[in-house]
Amino acid sequence: MTRLFVLVLAVFFPAAAPATAQDAAGPAATQAEPAARTPPETAAEPLIRPAGESDLSEFKWTRRVLVVFADSPADPRFMDQIEFLRDGEDMLRERDVVVLTDSDPSARTPVRQKLRPRGFQLTLVDKDGEVKLRKPLPWTVREIAASIDKTPMRLREVEERRRKKAGAAAGGN
């Protein structure tokens, strides 16, 4: 499956193919990284994947969905956005984000039909299924993370983690 994903990326993102091919070196290369870097449940899942027949409802309550639309995979804004996302992968995984790409308007994917983009568009859909952000230009992961961190759902997640840590620390003493 990983090799198929790499092949698809190599076809749609020629400039990104060398970096992606290195990632496809095999499971041993992935396992050599520290386990603390990415949560185990998401380590095997690709962060960035084609929208294909994905429906936003399949991510409801489990993942935030960042959708990157363009009219062509050669759009410089699209390529810049993908590069930004790859550079900030850890920050996105920490926030339970999955990235869907759709650079073929003629494909009429379910995601494209629901969100109706015009040209390049970056769209953030929160875990509750609500659109939280639409941008016509690429954003850095730092900007995206700041937007996510302001949402009530993310604030609640951070507070729950703090309580768990405080409870574990109190229980361990």
| Domain region containing 1 | 1-28
What would the pLDDT profile of 66-109 be if each residue is shown by its tens digit?
Answer: 999 999 999 999 999 999 999 999 999 999 999 999 999 999 99
Same domain, 23 and 51: no
Same domain, 93 and 10: no
150 domain residue, yes or no: yes
Torsion sign over Cα 138, 144, 146, 152: positive
Do the beta carbons of residue 130 and residue 155 sit within 8 Å? no
Pairing of strands 48-50, 97-102: parallel
What would the pLDDT profile of 4-34 be if each residue is shown by its tens digit?
Answer: 444 444 545 444 433 433 343 433 333 333 3
